[in-house]
Structure 1
Amino acid sequence: MTNLAHKRMSAAEYLAFERASETKHQFFDGEVFAMAGGSYVHALVSNNVAAEIRSCLKGTPCQAVGSDLRVATPGGLYTYPDVTVHCGPPTFVDEQSDTLTNPRLLVEVLSPSTERYDRGRKFEQYRGIRSLTDYLIVSQGHASVDHFFRREADGAWLLMGYSGMEAQVSVDNLGIVLPLSEIYAGVDFSAAEPDPLPPLRPGATF
């Protein structure tokens, strides 16, 4: 992401700017950040995840959408997750119906330039969304998914890690199972960008 320092503005100004823009930008704390395009593998994995989740959610009140939908956090981050799931009626920041505020599941497919941000500042912002129960961080360099999920008793977030094409991600809060063989269907890992950081240790709390 590139910071457009000269574009410092309010959230309302950002939305007006973004709705007129031909390219996507994230927004946080008065600053606008240009979003770079993803690689072929990034796009393929993102589409696989969205398709598999949609298939699993058939017949439920939940819907999965891709990266064209903007999401806003209570902390003021406006961003475009790779996959967003909401359940029941969607809620938006205004009548334009293009900035969701009540996601249940968010998915980010890692890129070398965004990994620290996706695991750090962005996840910190996502944890402030009261409706959110699950966050998936999906590698594009190898078959690996980190699943963060909210523990109901105390609200802490726990981590489960999955690796290998035989593994399956169990998203109990939505009653779905996502095989890594489907998430990575058609992926040539030799053409993928390497992951700069090792996966987090399962069992961690946040």
Structure 2
Amino acid sequence: MSAVEKTLSPDDYLQWERAAEFKSEYHRGTITLMAGASRNHNRVTANLSVEIGVRLKNSRCQHFSQDFRLWIPTEEFYTYPDLTIVCGKLELLDDQFDTMLNPTTIIEVLSKSTAQYDRSEKFEYYRSIPSFKEYVLIDSERVKVEVWQKLESPNVWALVHETRRLDDSIQLMMLPSAISLQDIYAQTVGLLHIND
């Protein structure tokens, strides 16, 4: 990802982004072009989309892929999470079906270039969303998954599950059944993993 120094208002960015050929993030006037994803990143994202979609088929929740934009007004931040789950009514920014306001779960698939950002600043921005309750980080270069959840206390988050075992599974708050790491990492290549 590389930052482009432009001073655009959020409205100007949105108009520009809707016509652009490539995706970019926006934060308080700065546009950051998004780099293409690796094979493993794309594979993990696709695998998760299938697994989550099956589990939410007859649910009040729905999921969206990385092409669905998220707007966080308190941070003046537009971004594209890898996957989101929304439970209840989907709140949109306007009459265009491309920008959401109320994710319940956000899933980011980590790459070498984005891992630190996804863990720190981006997580901080996400935590300002009132509906946001769960953050899932999945490494695309090695077998590692973290599940963070918001506790009953205001603004307190806890790491509720962390695993590096391919024979393990994760249970997300909004899903009726767990997802195995073997299914998450199916057809990826060259991953480091522990299975003891």
| Contiguous gaps of at least 5 residues in structure 1 | 195-206
Percent of aligned pairs with the same amino acid? 35
Inter-partner Cα distance in structure 1 for 2:180 and 2:157 = 22
Distance, in Å, in 2 between the alignment partners of 1:92 and 1:69 is 11
Cα distance per residue 1:102-154 (max 9 Å; x no partner): 01111111111111100010000011111111111100112211111111244
1:43 matched to which residue of 2?
A: 42
TM-score calculated relative to the size of structure 1: 0.88
Q: Give ranges in structure 2 of 5+ residues lacking alignment.
A: none
Contact 1:140 1:189 in 2 (8 A): no
CA displacement 1:36-71 (0-9 Å, x = unmatched): 000111100111111111111121011111111001
Moved more, 12-21 or 176-185: 176-185
- Residue 121 of structure 2 is aligned to residue 118 of structure 1: no
Measured after TM superposition, the shift of residue 173 of structure 1 is 4.6
Number of the residue aligned with 2:84: 84
How far the C-alpha of 1:171 sits from its partner, in A, is: 1.5
RMSD: 1.4
Q: Secondary structure at the match of 1:137?
A: strand
Quote the residue 1:197 is aligned against: none
Number of equivalenced pairs: 190
- Matching residue's letter, 1:117: Y
Kept in 1: contact 2:39–2:188 (CA 8 A): no
- Cα distance, 1:174 vs structure 2: 4.2
Is 1:33 aligned with 2:11?
no
| Residue correspondence of structure 1 range 54-69 to structure 2 within 5 A | 54-69=53-68
2:138 corresponds in structure 1 to 138
Structure 2 length-normalised TM: 0.92
**Distance change >3 Å, CA 176–CA 151, structure 1 → 2:** farther
CA–CA distance in 2 between the matches of 1:169 and 1:155?
23
Q: Is the 8 A contact 1:86 1:102 kept in 2?
A: yes
- The 8 Å contact of residues 133 and 173 in structure 1, kept in 2 or not, is answered as no
Instruction: Tell me the equivalent position of 1:204.
Output: none
Using the alignment, how far apart are the partners of 1:27 and 1:43 within structure 2? Answer: 22
- Corresponding residue of 1:188: 189
Residues in 2 aligned to 1:173 and 1:52: alpha-carbon distance in whole angstroms: 13
Match of residue 7 from structure 2: 8
Code of the aligned partner of 1:147: V
Instruction: Give 1:89 deviation, angstroms.
Output: 1.9
**1:105 maps to amino acid:** T
